[in-house]
């Protein structure tokens, strides 16, 4: 009798477990019958973390465009190779001699450390009045006047400002800002417009912040009855002629959009020069970009960035492309002494290959996912997330529903941290990879990737939300 009860219990468990998996599988099948998704390229995989038992597989080895979910790869590699406490360093110093009158007979020097967070809106407390602090350190060193130039040493990075595979539409907009040895203020500036009451009428640019020396606009933006930002900025790095097209809401005294800086180094040099002048310290020469000689360099002050773990938390939570591109290049800085994107990608690939991951399923072109040429398989994300599951800084960086880029998910359906994931989206691409705690207490690892779908992103997000809720309830 006891044997019979035991067998019936086992049978019941297996039946219910299979039913749960069938419910999820059926839900996916029904979703993919809809007109918006029936011709899409879709890959999914769900695995129980502890046992590594596969719960679901749909084209798990298919290479798909990941969009911003590639940031999982970049941030995981950076945390593993650089460590939670890694800091970027910007060094202020000089070449020459300071006389008794406080005149620097030589050049004031900034050595760029490619700090992605310098002056960032995400780290305002860390960098509070950082320029004024720099000026104070320079003054404390006894410098009252600079006889020479302001030198910016950007040799930590190569000359590539943005990856070659980024599209023209993205480059001028705030999310298309490239990594720079002197990244500052998130490498973006704000453009404020005034719009008339009339629909379709020309608008006027009334202000930019911060000041970008030499910037010029060809403003083709018109007023619209649509109450949202639909303006796009076009322009490439170092090109200070910006074309702005699209529309903004009508009848606004001030409406602000964000754009990528054409020359972050120039902005930092200008702002430091102004801050020094306001303190009565004048530079007689010009701004010069060159590699400095350590033999003749005297350090005044070293500005440290926030810890890498803190940067990664913001990066994944808010999906900051700029920060991710910096981390990719910084891997190459630490290994080779020069920040280079291709070298960074090689380091990423080599590291995960050594960990036993299937790197044939990882083809990277950048660190952020803005390139349409990146391709990754859902299975690679499962392997990566499994490897990183015990890394507290990595897991903590993934937003939960209602927060960060997971804001479209209902936090009431996934309380606490029962769902933590990285999203990725671009035109006709929507992806999610992360961790899900089922109602049974089991922790699941999942990757859901949609390419080439029709319809709205919002509708697909809600469909994916329903799929994840089914997984949560039935496992």
pLDDT tens profile 338-361: 999 999 999 999 999 999 999 999
* pLDDT score for 1: 52
R_g (Cα) of the chain, nearest Å: 26
For the segment 275-292, the average pLDDT, to the nearest whole number, is: 97
With a cut of 60, say whether residue 19 has pLDDT above it: no
Q: How far is CA 179 from CA 63, 150, 289, in A?
A: 27, 22, 17
Q: CATH number of 89-158+265-308: 3.40.830.10, 3.40.50.1370, 3.30.70.580, 3.50.80.20? A: 3.50.80.20
Separation CA 82–CA 76 (nearest Å): 10
3-state DSSP call for residue 95? Answer: strand
* pLDDT score for 15: 46
* pLDDT score for 37: 98
With a cut of 90, say whether residue 386 has pLDDT above it: yes
* pLDDT score for 9: 47
Task: Count Cβ atoms within 10 A of the Cβ of residue 295 and give its class: 0-12 exposed, 13-18 middle, 19 or more buried.
Answer: exposed
- pLDDT by residue (tens digit) across 437-453? 999 999 999 999 999 99
Domains 29-84+316-474 and 89-158+265-308 share a fold: no
Residues 8, 12, 18: CA angle, nearest 5 degrees = 145
* pLDDT score for 451: 99
pLDDT band at 22 (very low <50, low <70, confident <90, very high): confident
Separation CA 380–CA 358 (nearest Å): 6
The overall average pLDDT reported for the chain is: 95
Q: What percent of the chain has pLDDT over 90?
A: 95
Q: What percent of the chain has pLDDT over 70?
A: 96
Query: Contact, 181 vs 112, CB < 8 A?
Result: yes
Assign domain 29-84+316-474 to a CATH class. alpha beta
CB atoms within 10 A of CB 260: 27
pLDDT band at 364 (very low <50, low <70, confident <90, very high): very high
pLDDT band at 21 (very low <50, low <70, confident <90, very high): low
Query: Contact, 109 vs 292, CB < 8 A?
Result: yes
- pLDDT by residue (tens digit) across 136-185? 999 999 999 999 999 999 999 999 999 999 999 999 999 999 999 999 99
3-state DSSP call for residue 446? Answer: strand
Q: How do the domains of the chain map onto residue ranges?
A: 29-84+316-474, 89-158+265-308, 168-260
* Termini Cα distance of the chain: 29
């Amino acid at each position: 009798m006891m044997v019979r009860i035991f067998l019936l219990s086992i049978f019941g468990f297996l039946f219910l477990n299979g039913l749960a998996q069938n419910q999820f599988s059926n839900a996916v099948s029904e979703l993919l019958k809809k007109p918006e998704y029936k011709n899409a390229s879709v890959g999914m995989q769900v695995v129980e973390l502890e046992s590594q038992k596969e719960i679901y597989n749909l084209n798990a080895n298919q290479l798909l465009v990941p969009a911003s979910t590639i940031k999982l790869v970049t941030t995981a590699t950076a945390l593993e190779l650089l460590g939670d406490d890694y800091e970027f360093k910007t060094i202020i110093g000089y070449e020459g001699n300071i006389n008794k009158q406080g005149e620097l007979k030589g050049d004031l020097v900034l050595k760029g450390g490619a700090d992605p967070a310098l002056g960032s809106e995400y780290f305002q407390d860390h960098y509070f009045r950082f320029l004024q602090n720099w000026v104070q350190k320079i003054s404390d060193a006894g410098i009252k006047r600079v006889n020479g130039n302001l030198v910016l040493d950007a040799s930590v990075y190569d000359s590539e400002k943005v990856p070659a595979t980024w599209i023209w539409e993205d480059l001028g907009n705030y999310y298309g800002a490239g990594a720079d040895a002197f990244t500052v203020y998130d490498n973006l500036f704000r453009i404020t417009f005034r719009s008339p009451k009339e629909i379709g009428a020309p608008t006027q640019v009334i202000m930019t912040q911060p000041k970008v020396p030499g910037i010029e606009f060809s403003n083709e933006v018109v007023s619209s009855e649509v109450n949202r930002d639909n303006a796009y900025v076009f322009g490439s790095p170092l090109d200070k002629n910006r074309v702005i097209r699209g529309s903004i809401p009508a009848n606004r005294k001030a409406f602000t959009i964000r754009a990528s800086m054409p020359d972050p180094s120039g902005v930092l040099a200008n702002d430091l020069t102004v801050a020094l002048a306001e303190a009565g310290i004048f530079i007689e020469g010009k701004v010069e970009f060159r590699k400095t000689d350590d033999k003749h360099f005297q350090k005044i002050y070293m500005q440290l960035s926030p810890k890498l773990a803190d940067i990664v938390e913001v990066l994944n939570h808010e999906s900051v492309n700029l920060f991710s591109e910096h981390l990719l290049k910084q891997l190459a800085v630490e290994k080779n002494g020069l920040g280079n994107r291709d070298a960074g990608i090689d380091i990423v690939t080599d590291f995960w290959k050594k960990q036993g991951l299937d790197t044939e399923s990882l083809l990277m072109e950048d660190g952020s996912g803005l390139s349409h040429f990146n391709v990754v398989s859902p299975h690679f994300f499962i392997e990566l997330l499994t490897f990183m599951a015990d890394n507290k800084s990595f897991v903590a960086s993934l937003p939960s529903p209602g927060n960060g880029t997971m804001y479209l998910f209902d936090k009431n359906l996934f309380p606490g941290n029962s769902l933590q994931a990285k999203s990725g989206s671009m035109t006709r691409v929507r992806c999610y990879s992360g961790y899900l705690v089922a109602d049974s207490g089991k922790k699941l690892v999942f990757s859901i990737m949609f390419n080439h779908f029709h319809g709205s992103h919002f509708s697909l997000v809600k469909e994916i939300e329903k799929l994840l809720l089914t997984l949560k309830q039935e496992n």
